[in-house]
Structure 1
């Protein structure tokens, strides 16, 4: 079973209602129109088809309309996701959503404050062959804010994980806006470090204690394992900022998915999907192109500024 996460970069619909970034106002001077919307849907669908995950968590989906349009486009090119859900209880500008080939028991939201500065976390429970597992779809605050904001989301997530029980099969996915070793790299930026060196991804989720390949790790109670450690260092990235590779998108698992029992992560399968057409000039993710003019205009080219990340799980 392949599980993936992909930040599709601002998939806005063409509906008139709902707040949108100014360059995504429908049928305006920025050329966010049917033609460019259809190109965006086609390009993102091409990527998702190449991923071919059984379950894929998405970030930066504007609305249920955009999600349904993407799902229809995927069906037209031969990839059908029967089950889908968007986390839209909070009217944030962009949201997280999930597409699945297999049914889920429920999909609900972990509320992360009342402010629109924080996006809710999507919680989805599955049961396959009598094996239960949970997927939590995250999109934490960007690096425009300090670490305390990502820490806030991490604590809300941790509180919910405690309620479920750390011993359950839990998969945390999404755009955490945090490198797998955020506790090291964020020290270079004093504006981010307002938490005395602590980070949400490393300290709150306790990923800091396991840094070996998955088959060499020792059990650490109430901790989570970041799958990026199960591949070569040079392959651990999903985003490029000012020429530096970062792993902002992560797949993080509970200890029970490493114990070779009922359901497990398949060793060595974590990877980003980085086909040639998805890389711009051989260096960066080929993001959706918008001009930098006074009135920004869509060029009808590109995919996303993030690469998708996928891993395989086995139900024994």
Structure 2
């Protein structure tokens, strides 16, 4: 009895509801409507073979991954439309995973947008426009109620590295301006495909094509995931400062800090970044060491990420195989007593 009593006391002091938050770039989930903004290979019923059967296969594969992540809240990148998101929700239901709440960023000029699925009630959704250009996707801010406590989740998909760092800095500044408007004790988490390495300030310096900002980066300098001496923010640093943010990639061994591959090299383009309020041992708290990549065997083929497959020979067409060119990442948060 004494042992059981001690367990109950420990659960009261250290326990609480655990919430898993994830992000996953699903690689081009287009619906079957011809809206005129699709990439060529996703225009319905052309020689590319993007037809209803292929669409259903893509939905099934995407839902399989999300089902195996098992997140309570998941941000999704490269969703074409609310129709595609609802069809994905329906497929998830068939696979036994139900999300009651969802949000979709309706960026008018872009071919793909961001979305969010949640098991917890959504209190509000705000889209923050970066630019009128279709090269920039809105940043979606979702305020979620978790057992009476509010958490803001910002879902990002910044400009790809087909453009220089100055384009990603535009997104970073819009996001930073919004974060500066929040109170210092506001808990928030930044998730998504930032198209930026967690140490972008080191990796892009030798690239003249990318470095058009004299070494300044969006993810590191603007969001302040490094200090004034260009040292990465640690979790202990985060606890003692209200101005910095912590990138959860540092919780993993260095050789596993990647979620995407480019020319045979791993890149950490997807990120989960937390605010000081998620490390102050009050309210909602990040569970240290819980950050991870989701890496079931089926997401790899011949040692490489098993992305959605298209033929390399003409006429090019979809093969109905593979998943995405990104791996999901996730972290656990606890509602503290």
Task: Please confirm whether the aligned pair reaches a TM-score higher than 0.5, indicating the same fold.
Answer: yes
5+ long unaligned stretches in structure 1:
none
What residue number does 2:286 align with? 265
Q: Does 1:126 align with 2:126?
A: no
Q: Secondary structure at the match of 1:179?
A: coil
Alpha-carbon distance between aligned partners in 2 of 1:69 and 1:127, rounded to the nearest angstrom: 25
What residue number does 1:220 align with? 241
What residue number does 1:39 align with? 57
Q: Secondary structure at the match of 1:46?
A: helix
5+ long unaligned stretches in structure 2:
1-18
Q: Does 1:203 align with 2:221?
A: yes
Q: Which of 251, 276, 279 is 1:255 aligned to?
A: 276
Q: Secondary structure at the match of 2:204?
A: helix
Shift of 1:295: 3.6
Deviations 1:262-302 (A, max 9, x none): 111001011110111001212x2110001133442000100
Residue 214 of structure 1 contacts residue 230 of structure 1 at CA under 8 Å; is this kept in 2?
Answer: no
Shift of 1:166: 3.9
Q: Does 1:91 align with 2:112?
A: no
Q: Does 1:185 align with 2:203?
A: yes
Deviations 1:152-202 (A, max 9, x none): 000000111111234310100000000000000011311000000010000
Residue 90 of structure 1 contacts residue 120 of structure 1 at CA under 8 Å; is this kept in 2?
Answer: no
Q: Does 1:311 align with 2:331?
A: yes
Distance of aligned partners of 1:127 and 1:218 in 2 relative to their CA distance in 1, 3 Å threshold: closer
Residue 213 of structure 1 contacts residue 230 of structure 1 at CA under 8 Å; is this kept in 2?
Answer: no
Which structure 1 residue ranges, 4+ long, deviate > 4 Å from structure 2? 215-218
What residue number does 2:80 align with? 62
RMSD after superposition: 1.4
Alpha-carbon distance between aligned partners in 2 of 1:142 and 1:305, rounded to the nearest angstrom: 14
Alpha-carbon distance between aligned partners in 2 of 1:91 and 1:97, rounded to the nearest angstrom: 16
Q: Does 1:297 align with 2:325?
A: no
Mean CA deviation greater in 229-238 or 132-141: 229-238
Instruction: Name the TM-score, length of structure 1 as normaliser.
Output: 0.96
Deviations 1:27-68 (A, max 9, x none): 110000111111111111110000000000000000011101
Mean CA deviation greater in 106-115 or 47-56: 106-115
What residue number does 1:109 align with? 127
Residue 90 of structure 1 contacts residue 119 of structure 1 at CA under 8 Å; is this kept in 2?
Answer: no
Q: Which of 22, 27, 34 is 2:45 aligned to?
A: 27
Residue 109 of structure 2 contacts residue 132 of structure 2 at CA under 8 Å; is this kept in 1?
Answer: no
Alpha-carbon distance between aligned partners in 1 of 2:234 and 2:177, rounded to the nearest angstrom: 28
Residue 21 of structure 2 contacts residue 71 of structure 2 at CA under 8 Å; is this kept in 1?
Answer: yes
Residue 105 of structure 2 contacts residue 113 of structure 2 at CA under 8 Å; is this kept in 1?
Answer: yes
Residue 110 of structure 1 contacts residue 122 of structure 1 at CA under 8 Å; is this kept in 2?
Answer: yes
Alpha-carbon distance between aligned partners in 2 of 1:242 and 1:147, rounded to the nearest angstrom: 20
Residue 166 of structure 1 contacts residue 254 of structure 1 at CA under 8 Å; is this kept in 2?
Answer: no
Q: Secondary structure at the match of 1:222?
A: coil
